[in-house]
């Protein structure tokens, strides 16, 4: 309809753009039209008008945001000492994952704005003291995916990373490498062409297209959005019973298509991660592209393509959308997806994700090229408890080694592993199998596999303290160390003592953007500031 009804006028209805502007002003942070569309799509607020011109009631929008006042709720649960300005709530998701920071998923990494806050005084108005300056050397002895190194580069500082995982080391170094982007694009186009030709000999593409068409029709009929979700929220539909019934109904369609296109779903064995968590058509394509990467002459380009393939493979695991972070059981059929509220399917081809990630990666590399500085950065594969930083850097970059010897490291910014939370090699098990990296799980500090018992906790405290003592040999006399941790066991006073250090300050921050399913729960971490005792 072209004109608003009297009811709609009285309800103070506005369009998406107006709602975005209103919400941004009301919340004092950027709210996009996509954010508002998300609220409509998932039934958080009611949609007025029509699909071509959706309208929002400002009073309902205000009620939604008022009921979702995180700062007030979280301070009530976590304490008034929570530094809300360290939540970085004002940053959009695209800013928290800017440029190369999203080249590859990684559990447990912190956002770049947190690094900026402590490394660069220009990024905030709250800090009284400046700890790091341009041309300083920053160390991250638990480097992970390289967030500290990338931000140090952007801020004009040299940086050294250390990580026990060979794959983590590759992720970090790939992010910092300078590339011939036109050459990468040319090689990508060639490999993508080869993949398409390979697929022409298979039936899985036609099968998946047909399957998607059937799923779309079925979901439109039985799971209309946002009407279905609103009915579930109101209790008008018993989601569990209804979903189970429709899931079983669609399975007959799925099995008919599998038979029609003669698709092999499961692999012949399940001895390895790649055997267990990928459907047969996907595994064939992974093997094909992997072989093509080995033919690339330029090793730096081969590594960035390997990261793209690894990111692609991770998105193609045979699991539900709700279980991407913590795998449960392999999925080989269509299923009701609680996350999306409709019938979804496992992945049968890597091509779509491969093409998406190749484009995304090139864009991110270009974006970082505009910000990068001419400083030295390297991530070393090794154990931070025992590694000789100077000798290892001397082997790889003698010029950087001279700078390290002359001025030493100004300080550390790092997020050590958490005890009994993550198996850092296992989270990228597929990459170790594809690329043949050696695993050193036995050298991880505080792995999930060892639990959180007394023996594991004691070993963890000792391991972190040993790392700090070893790294201290390369630090300036008046060093500053910042360690990010959720210290629920109160480890860090003991760690500081064992490392002959003292905690001079701590900053408690809310963590708003966790990838785990319980991210809505109030959760905080502390940034410990350590100095020589």
Which of the pair, 411 or 320, is modelled with greater confidence?
411
Average pLDDT over residues 100-109: 92
User: For residue 482, which phi and psi values (nearest 5 degrees)?
Assistant: -120, 120
Q: What confidence score (pLDDT) does residue 130 get?
A: 85
Structure tokens at 194: 């080869």
The pLDDT score that the predictor gives to residue 128 is: 58
User: How many whole angstroms separate alpha carbon 45 and alpha carbon 67?
Assistant: 12
Specify whether the CB–CB gap between 281 and 264 falls below 8 A.
yes
Domains in the chain: boundaries: 6-68, 71-178+372-532, 181-365
Query: pLDDT band at 3, cuts 50/70/90?
Result: very low
Q: From start to end of 29-101, where are the E strands?
A: 48-50, 53-57
The predicted pLDDT at position 84 comes to 86
Percent of the chain clearing pLDDT 90 (strictly above):
73
Look at residue 437 and tell me whether its pLDDT is greater than 70: yes
pLDDT at position 7 over 60? no
Do residues 510 and 524 touch, judged by C-beta distance below 8 A?
yes
Q: What is the mean pLDDT of residues 208-225?
A: 95
- Short-list 357, 406, 403, CA closest to 378: 403
- CATH classification code of 71-178+372-532: 3.40.50.150
At 91 the pLDDT is: 83
pLDDT for the residue numbered 368: 97
Residue 446's region, left for phi above 0, alpha for psi from -120 to 50, else beta, is left
The per-residue pLDDT for range 237-270, each reduced to its tens digit, is 999 999 999 999 999 999 999 999 999 999 999 8
β-pairing verdict for 137-140 and 342-344:
unpaired
Question: How confident is the model over 457-486, as a mean pLDDT?
Answer: 97
Degrees to nearest 5, angle at CA 109 with 428 and 458? 85
Burial string for 227-239 (b: 16+ CB within 10 Å, else e) reads: ebbbebeeeeeeb
Give the model's pLDDT for residue 9: 44
Phi, psi of 303 (to 5 degrees): -70, -40
The answer to whether 197 touches 168, Cβ cutoff 8 Å, is no
Judge whether residue 122 has pLDDT over 70.
Answer: no
pLDDT at position 223: 96
At residue 514, the pLDDT reads 60
Burial zone of 32 (CB within 10 Å; 0-12 exposed, 13-18 middle, 19+ buried): middle
Q: What is the pTM of this model?
A: 0.85
- pLDDT higher than threshold 50 for residue 520: yes
pLDDT for 295 = 97
Does 324 have pLDDT greater than 90? no
- In which element (H, E) is residue 479 found? strand 475-485
Q: What per-residue confidence (pLDDT) applies to 121?
A: 59
CA 322 – CA 314 distance, rounded (Å): 14
Confidence band for 52, pLDDT divided at 50, 70 and 90: confident
Helix (H, G, I), strand (E, B) or coil at 102: helix
Average pLDDT in the chain: 91
Question: Is it the case that residue 80 has pLDDT exceeding 90?
Answer: no
Does residue 495 surpass a pLDDT of 60?
yes
End-to-end CA distance of the chain: 73
Q: What is the largest CA-CA distance in the chain?
A: 77
pLDDT tier at 501 (50, 70, 90 boundaries)?
very high
Q: What is the pLDDT of residue 1?
A: 38
């Amino acid at each position: 309809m072209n004109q608003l009804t009297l009811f709609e006028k009285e309800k103070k209805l506005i369009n998406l753009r107006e709602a975005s502007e209103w919400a941004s002003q009301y919340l004092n942070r950027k709210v996009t039209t996509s954010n508002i569309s998300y609220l409509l799509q998932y039934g958080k607020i009611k949609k007025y008008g029509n699909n071509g011109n959706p309208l929002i009631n400002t009073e309902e929008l205000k009620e939604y945001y008022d009921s979702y006042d995180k700062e007030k709720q979280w301070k009530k649960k976590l304490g008034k000492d929570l530094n809300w300005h360290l939540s970085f709530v004002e940053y959009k998701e695209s800013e928290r994952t800017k440029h190369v920071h999203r080249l590859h998923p990684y559990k447990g990494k912190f956002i770049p704005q947190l690094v900026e806050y402590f490394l660069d005084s220009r990024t905030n108005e709250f800090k009284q003291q400046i700890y790091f300056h341009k041309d300083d050397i920053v160390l991250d002895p638990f480097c992970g995916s390289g967030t500290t190194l990338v931000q140090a580069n952007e801020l004009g500082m040299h940086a050294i990373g250390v990580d026990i995982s060979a794959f983590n080391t590759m992720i970090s170094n790939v992010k910092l490498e300078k590339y011939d982007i036109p050459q990468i694009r040319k090689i990508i186009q060639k490999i993508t062409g080869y993949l398409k030709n390979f697929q022409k000999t298979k039936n899985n593409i036609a099968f998946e297209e047909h399957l998607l068409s059937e799923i779309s029709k079925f979901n439109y009929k039985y799971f209309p959005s946002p009407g279905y979700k609103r009915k579930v929220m109101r209790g008008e539909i018993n989601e569990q019973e209804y979903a189970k019934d429709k899931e079983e109904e669609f399975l007959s369609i799925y099995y008919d298509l599998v038979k029609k296109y003669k698709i092999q779903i499961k692999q012949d064995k399940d001895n390895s991660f790649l055997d267990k968590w990928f459907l047969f058509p996907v595994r064939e394509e992974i093997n094909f592209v992997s072989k093509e990467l080995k033919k690339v002459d330029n090793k730096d380009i081969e590594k960035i393509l390997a990261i793209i393939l690894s990111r692609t493979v991770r998105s193609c695991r045979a699991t539900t959308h709700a279980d991407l972070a913590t795998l449960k059981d392999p999925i080989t059929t269509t299923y009701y997806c609680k996350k999306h509220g409709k019938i979804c399917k496992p992945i049968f081809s890597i091509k779509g994700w491969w093409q998406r990630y190749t484009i995304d990666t090139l864009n991110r590399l270009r974006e970082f090229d505009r910000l990068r500085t001419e400083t030295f950065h390297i991530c070393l594969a090794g154990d931070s408890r025992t590694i000789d930083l100077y000798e290892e850097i001397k082997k790889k970059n003698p010029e950087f080694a001279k700078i390290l010897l002359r001025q030493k490291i100004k300080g550390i910014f790092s997020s050590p592993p958490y005890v009994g939370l993550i198996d850092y090699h296992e989270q990228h098990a597929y990459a170790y199998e594809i690329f043949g990296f050696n695993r050193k799980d036995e050298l991880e500090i505080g792995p999930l596999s060892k639990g959180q018992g007394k023996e594991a906790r004691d070993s963890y405290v000792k391991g972190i303290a040993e790392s700090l003592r070893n790294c201290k040999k390369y630090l300036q006399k008046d060093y500053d160390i910042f360690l990010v941790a959720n210290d629920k066991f109160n480890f860090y006073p003991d760690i500081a003592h064992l490392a002959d250090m003292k905690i001079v300050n701590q900053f408690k921050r809310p963590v708003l953007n966790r990838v785990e399913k319980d991210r809505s729960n109030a959760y905080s971490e502390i940034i410990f500031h350590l100095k020589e005792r």
